[in-house]
Structures are given as C-alpha cells and as structure tokens.
C-alpha cells in the first residue's frame, strides 16, 4: 500500500467516526486484501464485515487482531458449518432454512450463534430477505432453536436515486424493529441492533434511527 492509500483510509475513518457518533461502524472489507483490512483495523475499527464465506474465513484465520467479524452476505446452507463458532454475528439470515442450519451447526459445536434477520422491504426481488409478513414465521421458528440468539434486524435501501424512496424503506425497517421490540417477549429474541445504511445512503439511515452502518467503498475512496 502507498502512503497515499493509507492516508485516505485514515481520513475517511476519522470523518466517518465523527459523523456516526454512537452508531457502530461495520467496515466492509470485501474487495480488499489482508494489508488493506489491517490498515482499517489500525485506525481503530473493531467490527468488520465480509460477504463471502471463503474470504471471511481466510481473514479470520490470518488476522490476529481481536476484532469482531460479521457475515453480511447471502449464506448457502452447505457453508454454514464453516463460519459457525468463528464469526461474532451473522447479519444475513434470509430464510428459515438457513436459520435452522445455523442452529444445527451451533448445537454440534456447543455454541449459541448471534444473528440478525435480514429483511427485503425494497420491492426489488433480486435481493434476499424476509418480508414484513414473514415476521411471525421466524419468531415462531426461533422458539424451537435454542442455539440461536436474534440480536436485531438488517436491511438495505433500494437501488434508486430517490432519497424519499430510500427513506421510506429505512423508516419501515425502524418501525418493524420497534414493533418486534415491544411485541415479542422471548428469551432468544432481543432488538439490540438495527443494521441499515451503506456508503451511498447511510446519512438517511442515521436520520431514521440506524444503530449500525455497513460501509465499504467510502472507506477506501
């Protein structure tokens, strides 16, 4: 890495931290190598997100610094075993099938896995995630999954230039989060993390009550 590249990362993280206040920065290092990822950590970031199992496992194995690793990408059931017990949070639980699989693998390893339920409220069907109508289904399912702990929900804004359309989706995610928080009284369901906001739309997410943003490109450019 050049000194310039290091300076860019440093400045971007400093600026972001000021803007975020208490909101947690999950730095998305998915297109970046070990050196770049370590540079992010050197600047005080303690939560890192990856969207591919293989990259995530490689970084967990090769980076010694004590940081928190989050899986943020779509997870195939056959790869669940590779990350259970290694990651701190799986943000991208997008089906009952993967939820059950995480429970099974967690039981085998004698661990409890922290997860977020991923919602897709964008109306764009290429994205993975639950709809609002499926909320009761995962809550019922989790009753029978003692090795799962739901810590909150995750969602993305729609791919559009319309700030009002993005705001609308984030607002619905926040009200869903609040509703689950007030309605659900279950040992392994707690609304502690509302993960929404990426490089292009995080200011809107902050306005709408996000507690964690997942930011990649804005750190490196």
Q: Does 214 bind ligand PLP (CB under 6 A)?
A: yes
Q: Which position among 13, 25, 28, 90 is part of the footprint of ligand PLP (CB under 6 A)?
A: 28
Name which of 152 and 216 has its Cβ closer to ligand PLP. 216
d(CA 68, CA 47): 5
Q: Name the percent of the chain in helix, strand, coil, to the closest 5.
A: 45, 20, 35
Interaction residues for ligand PLP, span 179-198 (CB under 6 A): 198
Can you read off the two tokens belonging to residue 157?
A: 């804004």
The least distance separating ligand PLP from the CB of residue 198, rounded to whole angstroms, comes to 4
CB neighbour class for 110 (10 Å; exposed up to 12, middle 13-18, buried from 19): exposed
The least distance separating ligand PLP from the CB of residue 215, rounded to whole angstroms, comes to 5
Q: Which position among 7, 46, 160, 217 is part of the footprint of ligand PLP (CB under 6 A)?
A: 217
Name which of 112 and 128 has its Cβ closer to ligand PLP. 128
Binding residues with ligand PLP: total (CB under 6 A)? 13
Q: What is the DSSP string of 17-34?
A: HHHHTTSEEEEE-TT--H
Name which of 145 and 205 has its Cβ closer to ligand PLP. 205
């Amino acid at each position: 890495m050049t000194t310039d590249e290091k300076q860019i990362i440093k400045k971007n993280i400093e600026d972001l931290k000021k803007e975020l206040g208490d909101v947690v920065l999950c730095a998305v290092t998915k297109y970046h190598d070990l050196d770049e990822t370590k540079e992010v950590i050197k600047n005080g970031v303690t939560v890192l997100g990856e969207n591919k199992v293989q990259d995530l496992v490689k970084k967990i194995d090769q980076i010694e610094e004590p940081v928190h690793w989050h899986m943020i990408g779509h997870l195939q059931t056959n790869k669940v075993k590779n990350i259970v017990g290694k990651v701190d949070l799986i943000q991208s639980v997008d089906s009952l099938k993967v939820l059950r699989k995480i429970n099974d693998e967690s039981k085998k390893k004698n661990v409890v896995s922290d997860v977020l339920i991923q919602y897709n409220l964008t109306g764009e069907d290429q994205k993975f995630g639950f709809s609002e109508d499926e909320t009761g289904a995962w809550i019922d399912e989790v009753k029978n999954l003692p090795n799962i702990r739901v810590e909150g929900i995750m969602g993305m804004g729609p791919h559009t230039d319309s700030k009002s359309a993005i705001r609308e989706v984030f607002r619905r995610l926040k009200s869903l989060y609040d509703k689950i928080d007030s309605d659900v009284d279950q040992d392994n369901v707690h609304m502690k993390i509302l993960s929404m906001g990426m490089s292009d739309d995080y200011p809107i997410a902050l306005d709408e009550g996000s507690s964690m943003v997942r930011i990649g490109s804005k750190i490196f450019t």
